[in-house]
Structure 1
Amino acid sequence: MIGRRNFLQTSATTATGLLTIPLFAIGNKQLAPDESIIGQGDFRYRVHKDWAKINPFNTFIDNCHEMVVDRKGRLIMIGDDPRNNIIVFDRSGKIVDSWGTYWPGGHGLTLMDEGGEDMLYVSESGWARSQADGKSMIRQSGFVAKTTISGRLLFTISHPMTVGAYTPEMLFQPTETAVAPNGDIYVADGYGSDYILQYDEYGRFIRKFGGHDNADKNYNLSSAHGIAIDHRDPAGPRLMVTSRSAKSFKYFTLEGKWIKTVNLANLQVCRPVIHGKQVYSGVCWSHNFAEAKVDKPWLVQSGFTMVMDENDRVISCPGGEAPIYKNKQLQPVAQDAQKTFFNGHDVCVDGDDNVYVCQWNGNRTPPVKLERV
């Protein structure tokens, strides 16, 4: 049986003959590349930068942080402009709702089906712009909020020192959450102290792991930016955690025991997004900060996105060069020559395997749609 995507590709080949050459590649070498098509292998996409229908005079975006799909197929985005933190799009890119005016560091967005009702877990990272100049970033403690899909607040998780998990001087700037099948909530303190904090479904503290300076270095995390529950292993769910500054993903049991580390060469990945057998992620940076020779190397725009298979092998880098392995090790991957993206911060995958890319430091641009071809 021919799938919908393969049928469309076959039809296009029949209809246009040699004109379809830009859509194909041999090995890692592109043939007559079409700049509107990015990615490699079976994960290639047509870029739609004008997908989002946004009026910049009444819908405000600073940084586009994360996006999820709800049960109605709507795409829900969180940003850090508190005039409209949450923006809801339909599949055509039209805005159908917006709400939230209290997350100046709005960062993480997790959606869970709880008893047939969509729930959102929002991570307020604690970064905020100075009211004095509107440019300087102020670092302060953040929190996690659980809300209904329409924004009604149910409860919050505040600084871990309130439950004895942190000492008062430890910073708490959560960047992401994940929810286990039993309702346990895992919070990644990616901009704070780099711990993963586990709570029960009511927000009661259970344990923490990660951080820095562990005797077993496998437990060390550096910019624990993202976390997800991975259900792909038949043996049972496990945690997948980002260690962004260390350019790696780490797998743990749900009790916090280290399983393995996946090194990703130069890819500073954001949260893992698991869809089918693949893991998708935004690559915020691919350059070496130490070699950037600028005052603020984190503002250099070298990002793209990546797709990793069930064997932890990167198989496509939309917006970047083709991934190459030598001796089972991923080699450095650079941003594509046309600079499709600025800094890839998050991806969202819909039911047709299209990908929506959120960008940080992206000149206030809305999400970009990648249509799978």
Structure 2
Amino acid sequence: MPAEHLFPTRRTFLAAAAAAVAAPAAGRPDDPVTFGEGSARFTLDPAWGRLPDGMRYGLGCAVVVDSRDRVYVTSRSASPCVAIFDRTGRLLETWTKDFADGIGLTPQQVAGTAHGLYWSKEGANEYLYWTENVSAPKGAPRIGARVYKTDLAGKVLYTLGNVASESATSQKIDFTNPTDVAVAPNGDVYVVDGYGSQRVFRFDKEFKLLKVMGGPGKEHGKFSTCHGAWVSTLRKDPEVYIADRANGRIEVFSPELEYKRTIPNFRAPCCFYQHAGRIYVPELSCRVTVIDADDKVVAHLGDGTGAANPAADAGKFAAPHALTVSSGGDVYVVEWVADGRVRKLRRG
């Protein structure tokens, strides 16, 4: 996929009125678009997340929500890549060249490496973990292959991976093409090298490397695109869920990365989000699946399989790449399609 610009040229704080350009609803105004049913029923908010004139989304990378239900959307677009909304859809701010400068890249280089984003509450503080893919244009140096932790303002606090030199806030780690991060209740950090070595890295909360496991393959403990990670707290003890995308399954491990079980029959699972006793799984092959604490399917949402053009169908998914869930149970989804297709599904 072509990597377009990631961050705008400057950081801007936009007035609320500039954010809301309503999109036309599918069908009649009184004919809402719904997903799922019963306790897993959602209604599309067709106007949420619209950008003002002159801005657009690119390929949808990631979406997270913080403790104030502010929603951070990242996509491969220069205007903008990071857009921060409130729950009503007001655009609060966009992140720009200042952010790119802070991680030592140009906006164009950030664009070529953008991928994952993870929100973490650690004690009284909140943090973001950013995952870079690799960009190595012909004749140019290899960039990317880093994971960096920031505060909610985007200030870099620690960097892992392809760093120029080690310091108190940076550490060389042989990531080849990382895709996602998860943080455990005890502070342990898990990184999946999903577009590269197919290995899973476990660090403690001070970023001391504790274990590396995995590698390419189909047997348990091996992966084919270990794209996403999550530490589930739905059972008595925490468990590490790995989205083994090309193998069409979820592999479950202990916190020490010892194999426990496999959840089969997924269609290219990308990542996870846990909310209210359930885990939400965006699947790149046209749907979102919701499972319970026993790994049983509660619902499939928006299955676009067989649709002539699911990317143009308001009630279908084409390529869900990431999602998050607000405190009230609303679901936000971004897709790996040219315009990111950022959507909010209201609970109920």
Give the TM-score, by structure 2 length. Answer: 0.77
Q: How far apart are the structure 2 equivalents of 1:347 and 1:238?
A: 20
Structure 1 pair 186/263, CA: closer, same or farther in 2 (3 Å)? same
Q: How far apart are the structure 1 equivalents of 2:202 and 2:45?
A: 38
Q: Does 199-208 or 117-126 show the bigger shift? A: 199-208
User: Based on CA coordinates, which of the two structures has the bigger radius of gyration?
Assistant: 1
Q: How far apart are 1:366 and its partner, in Å?
A: 4.5
> Is the Cα–Cα contact under 8 Å of residues 165 and 208 in structure 1 kept in the other structure?
no
Letter in 2 for 1:63: L
Q: Aligned residue for 2:90?
A: 94
Q: How far apart are the structure 2 equivalents of 1:123 and 1:51?
A: 26
Q: 2:300 aligns with which of 305, 308, 317?
A: 317
Q: How far apart are the structure 2 equivalents of 1:145 and 1:81?
A: 20
Q: Please say if 1:271 is aligned against 2:271.
A: yes
Q: Please say if 1:144 is aligned against 2:144.
A: no
Q: How far apart are the structure 2 equivalents of 1:75 and 1:199?
A: 27
Q: 1:343 aligns with which of 316, 319, 322?
A: 319
Q: 1:192 aligns with which of 192, 196, 207?
A: 196
Q: How far apart are the structure 2 equivalents of 1:63 and 1:165?
A: 27
Q: Aligned residue for 2:119?
A: 111
Q: How far apart are 1:352 and its partner, in Å?
A: 1.8
Query: After the TM superposition, which residues 284-299 of structure 1 pair with which residues of structure 2 at under 5 Å, given as runs?
Result: 284-285=284-285
Q: How far apart are the structure 2 equivalents of 1:343 and 1:213?
A: 24
Q: Please say if 1:250 is aligned against 2:251.
A: yes
Query: After the TM superposition, which residues 160-199 of structure 1 pair with which residues of structure 2 at under 5 Å, given as runs?
Result: 166=174, 172-199=176-203
Q: Name the SS for the 1:219 alignment partner.
A: coil
Gaps in structure 2 of 5+ consecutive residues: 1-30
Q: Aligned residue for 1:21?
A: none
Q: Aligned residue for 1:19?
A: none
Q: How far apart are 1:227 and its partner, in Å?
A: 0.3
Q: Aligned residue for 1:16?
A: none
Q: How far apart are the structure 2 equivalents of 1:77 and 1:164?
A: 28
Q: Name the SS for the 1:259 alignment partner.
A: strand
Q: How far apart are the structure 1 equivalents of 2:36 and 2:232?
A: 24
Q: How far apart are the structure 1 equivalents of 2:135 and 2:323?
A: 21
Q: Name the SS for the 2:147 alignment partner.
A: strand
Gaps in structure 1 of 5+ consecutive residues: 1-33, 133-137, 286-302, 322-332
Sequence identity, in percent? Answer: 25
Q: How far apart are the structure 1 equivalents of 2:196 and 2:138?
A: 22
Q: Name the SS for the 2:246 alignment partner.
A: helix
Q: How far apart are 1:204 and its partner, in Å?
A: 2.5
> Is the Cα–Cα contact under 8 Å of residues 323 and 332 in structure 2 kept in the other structure?
yes
Q: Aligned residue for 1:329?
A: none
Q: Aligned residue for 1:371?
A: 346
Q: Please say if 1:43 is aligned against 2:40.
A: yes
> Is the Cα–Cα contact under 8 Å of residues 75 and 91 in structure 1 kept in the other structure?
yes
Q: How far apart are 1:165 and its partner, in Å?
A: 6.8
Q: 1:126 aligns with which of 114, 120, 134?
A: 134
> Is the Cα–Cα contact under 8 Å of residues 128 and 149 in structure 2 kept in the other structure?
yes
Q: Name the SS for the 1:42 alignment partner.
A: helix
Q: How far apart are the structure 1 equivalents of 2:260 and 2:83?
A: 37
Structure 1 pair 41/203, CA: closer, same or farther in 2 (3 Å)? same
Q: Aligned residue for 1:211?
A: 215
Q: How far apart are the structure 2 equivalents of 1:250 and 1:202?
A: 26
Q: Name the SS for the 1:87 alignment partner.
A: strand
Q: 2:159 aligns with which of 133, 156, 159?
A: 156
> Is the Cα–Cα contact under 8 Å of residues 160 and 173 in structure 2 kept in the other structure?
no
> Is the Cα–Cα contact under 8 Å of residues 359 and 367 in structure 1 kept in the other structure?
yes
Structure 1 pair 165/351, CA: closer, same or farther in 2 (3 Å)? closer
Q: Name the SS for the 1:154 alignment partner.
A: strand
Q: Name the SS for the 2:226 alignment partner.
A: coil
Letter in 2 for 1:203: F
